[in-house]
Structure 1
Amino acid sequence: MHILVVGAGIIGLATAFELKTAGHTVNVIDPDPAGGASHAAAGMLAPAAETVWGQHTLHPLMVQAAADYPQFIDRIEAITGERPDYRDNATLVVAAEAADRQALNELESLQQSLGLRTERLLGSQARAAEPALAANIAGAMRFADDHQVDPRSLTAILLRYLHAELVREQAIEVLREAGTISGVRLASGRVVEGHCVVLATGLGALAGAPELPLRPVYGDIVRLRPHGGRPLIEHTVRGIVNRRPVYLVPRRDGSLVLGASSREDGRAEVNIGALHTLLDDARRLVPGVADASLLEVIARARPGTEDDVPIIERVEQGLVVSTGYFRHGILLTPFAAKATATLATGGQLPAAQQTTLSLSRFTGGHLPAQPVEAT
């Protein structure tokens, strides 16, 4: 079976990996592979620390994906001969001020309602685990099973593995012949034929595909090099500062990823106010940030749905949509890739997942596709 994956972010690349390793012919179509939200993402795999109220349908998928990550990483290494930078370091959620302890209380209450194991720490215990934390933090929680992966490492390996299958052009139309999906048309006018089209385009839209209820949620991300090149922290630190979230993710090379703002202002450029707040809040939690060198500042848009749950659905025979991952695209990758590949090859998802992930939950059962016949 020949399957066209439109979009070479981490979801599209991982889906193509699953399809290729299952013996299918695949093409991945994208003018800037791995250049979008995946390029900016910090890569936290934090189903416990990132759980929020009102996402009871999403949480089981987050937990499942996190549990699948070690095997996913092992498979990639076994097949490609390269191992992505996956770290099973724990996550500390830290309250900066006494007033921020209420947010920890709320998080702990939520975890307990979901049956998750929680480990509450005093400020002194958190500093014993992570000496770079500020001396006056108000408290913390530790999540031993919340890990991280470097998305740039992972996508680079997948891009090398899929090098022969890459089409570095912009897809603009989904094509049909006699009402059947036949391929896509590129901006150059070239037609790439296939039996199935997977739309993993994030916020991108193609003629002939359903209109998707997505919104761009911009995030500003900073990368730092600690003074002297020595790692500032060993754990991923998620902070709460005056009720604002901030995170610091250490990489194996000693660098530090700091983020992330969440803006829906339509501005693709880095926002200086958001950048200032991130740096100030990070310094409040880990004072050594003030001595670090700036490596990179970047902003990218994440595709969010109305309920912040992704869309993974075969919307018609031969056309699969896989998008809307918002903050959880990196975490959900192992689950999303398998689910999308299952649909692309004619399989079905469990009934509960079909309901949770369907596009029709936003459209009342109607899919507003605009058929385009091949010419």
Structure 2
Amino acid sequence: MSRTLAVVGGGAIGLAVAWRSAQAGWKVTVHDPAVGSGASWVAGGMLAPLSEGWPGEDALLQVGAASLQRWPDFGSELGALVDEPLFTSHSSLTVALDAADAADLRTVAEWIETQGYRLELLSRAQIRAAEPSLAPSIRLALLASTESAVDNRALVRALRLACEAAGVAFVAESVVDPESLPADQVVVAAGTGAAALWPGLPVRPVKGEILRLHHRPGVAPAPTQTIRGSVHGRPVYLVPRGDGIVVGATQHESGLDTQVTVGGVRDLIADAQTLMPSIGEYELYETAAGLRPMSPDNMPIIGRVSDRVVLAAGHGRNGILLTPLTADAVVAELSGAPLPEAKNCAPDRFGPTGRAH
């Protein structure tokens, strides 16, 4: 008989864990009152571990790159289940507006090469040829030809279908104590709610606001690749979608607040327009805010914390990127053979994480 598994949390991480576990022979139930409605629904969907890297962040680069390598097969398998494109771009461009940002791009390019990867620096002329809608004031760019982006909402829909096809059951109820669930094993993949479910877990919420813009007739089309930059010290990204662009994202340490602020919308529009002047002619279709589940070192927390409980938490702003690796790591943990690529994500790096009685 199949062993039973309860997955607490129905975002991209929880759904992927449930799907892969069911494929591995587990009888799986997902517990979530509103599947796919949290941070996974608001995310930008960037898969950019290389261009977002920085010297000294070796462990974060390694886990991100390992997950990026899984995405082509993972995405192809899921993409066959939905009647919409899952991938929305297949490269990323990080741009510099001033000399300091340009120096940072050169630093990243040099460091990434020492780690065994390659990013390409583009001149003004090359930038204009690649993305003519970008501002002519951009002086340098870093091209990552292997960094793609996915439609996060299409991903959630595909994962739900994949789970259903694999026989995963869904219970639309909140869980208070994961150890009270009757399953043989339990995976806590509840985003920012994981800290309440496993007291002592160092995961905190960080609010991020995003805009969804629709293209209008006669306006310059969206970039063909993901665009990232910094304006007045504020990071901003433009991620292509079939109907326009996702612009993000602010970052606020504001507890569980998910209200979109006037200031947040103002800054995102102004910064996005600095990178792409014609974006002001797009339709402002949706504003939203989600809560990133951040860990102290910005690394996910994946691993066993008791005989019955495995954590898949603390993914921060990289939840979509790390979805396939996390699913594989949890299935490996459940089988008793932890995944080598996830060794730096072990919960015990923060000290004892067992629940206090």
TM-score normalised by L of structure 2: 0.92
Q: Letter of the 1:91 partner, please give it.
A: S
Residue 116 in structure 1 maps to residue 117 in structure 2 = yes
Q: 1:174 aligns with which of 170, 178, 181?
A: 178
CA distance in 1, matches of 2:331, 2:106: 40
Q: Letter of the 1:203 partner, please give it.
A: T
- The total of aligned residue pairs comes to 350
RMSD (Å) for aligned C-alpha atoms:
2.1
Residue 313 in structure 1 maps to residue 303 in structure 2 = yes
Q: Letter of the 1:141 partner, please give it.
A: L
Q: Which residue of 2 aligns with 1:237?
A: 227
Shift of 1:328: 0.9
Shift of 1:58: 1.6
> Residue deviations 1:225-247, cap 9 Å, x none?
12217732111111222333211
User: Which one is further off, 47-56 or 65-74?
Assistant: 47-56
Summarize the Cα distance change of 1:212–1:230 in structure 2 as closer, same or farther, 3 Å threshold: same
Residue 237 of structure 1 contacts residue 247 of structure 1 at CA under 8 Å; is this kept in 2? yes
Residue 96 of structure 1 contacts residue 242 of structure 1 at CA under 8 Å; is this kept in 2? no
CA distance in 2, matches of 1:349, 1:218: 31
Q: Which residue of 2 aligns with 1:13?
A: 15
Shift of 1:214: 1.0
CA distance in 2, matches of 1:107, 1:261: 23
Shift of 1:281: 1.0
Summarize the Cα distance change of 1:349–1:6 in structure 2 as closer, same or farther, 3 Å threshold: same
Shift of 1:150: 0.9
Shift of 1:324: 0.3
Residue 159 of structure 1: SS of its match in structure 2?
A: helix
Summarize the Cα distance change of 1:54–1:261 in structure 2 as closer, same or farther, 3 Å threshold: farther
Residue 237 of structure 2: SS of its match in structure 1?
A: strand
**Correspondence 1:1-375 to 2 at 5 A:** 1-77=3-79, 80=81, 85-163=86-164, 165-175=169-179, 183-184=180-181, 193-205=182-194, 209-228=198-217, 231-251=221-241, 253-266=242-255, 267-350=257-340, 353-354=342-343, 356-363=344-351, 366-370=352-356
Residue 288 of structure 1: SS of its match in structure 2?
A: helix
Residue 173 of structure 1 contacts residue 206 of structure 1 at CA under 8 Å; is this kept in 2? no
Residue 93 of structure 1 contacts residue 238 of structure 1 at CA under 8 Å; is this kept in 2? yes
Q: Structure 1 unaligned runs (5+)?
A: 176-182, 185-192
CA distance in 1, matches of 2:329, 2:303: 9
Residue 330 of structure 1: SS of its match in structure 2?
A: coil
Shift of 1:173: 1.1
TM-score normalised by L of structure 1: 0.87
Shift of 1:206: 7.4
CA distance in 2, matches of 1:83, 1:22: 27
Summarize the Cα distance change of 1:244–1:367 in structure 2 as closer, same or farther, 3 Å threshold: closer
User: Which one is further off, 295-304 or 232-241?
Assistant: 232-241
Summarize the Cα distance change of 1:148–1:77 in structure 2 as closer, same or farther, 3 Å threshold: closer
Q: Letter of the 1:102 partner, please give it.
A: A
Q: Letter of the 2:132 partner, please give it.
A: P
Summarize the Cα distance change of 1:135–1:353 in structure 2 as closer, same or farther, 3 Å threshold: closer
Summarize the Cα distance change of 1:345–1:300 in structure 2 as closer, same or farther, 3 Å threshold: same
Q: Letter of the 1:319 partner, please give it.
A: V
CA distance in 2, matches of 1:206, 1:143: 35
Summarize the Cα distance change of 1:309–1:99 in structure 2 as closer, same or farther, 3 Å threshold: closer
Shift of 1:288: 1.0
Larger Rg: 1
Residue 40 of structure 2: SS of its match in structure 1?
A: helix
CA distance in 2, matches of 1:262, 1:86: 25
CA distance in 2, matches of 1:287, 1:279: 10
CA distance in 1, matches of 2:136, 2:128: 7
> Residue deviations 1:342-362, cap 9 Å, x none?
212333233x743x1122211
Summarize the Cα distance change of 1:227–1:257 in structure 2 as closer, same or farther, 3 Å threshold: same
Shift of 1:77: 4.5
Summarize the Cα distance change of 1:243–1:234 in structure 2 as closer, same or farther, 3 Å threshold: same
Residue 312 of structure 1: SS of its match in structure 2?
A: strand
Residue 79 of structure 2 contacts residue 86 of structure 2 at CA under 8 Å; is this kept in 1? no
Residue 121 of structure 1 contacts residue 141 of structure 1 at CA under 8 Å; is this kept in 2? yes
Aligned identity (percent) is 37
CA distance in 2, matches of 1:161, 1:111: 35
Residue 318 of structure 1 contacts residue 344 of structure 1 at CA under 8 Å; is this kept in 2? no
Shift of 1:264: 1.1
Shift of 1:211: 2.2
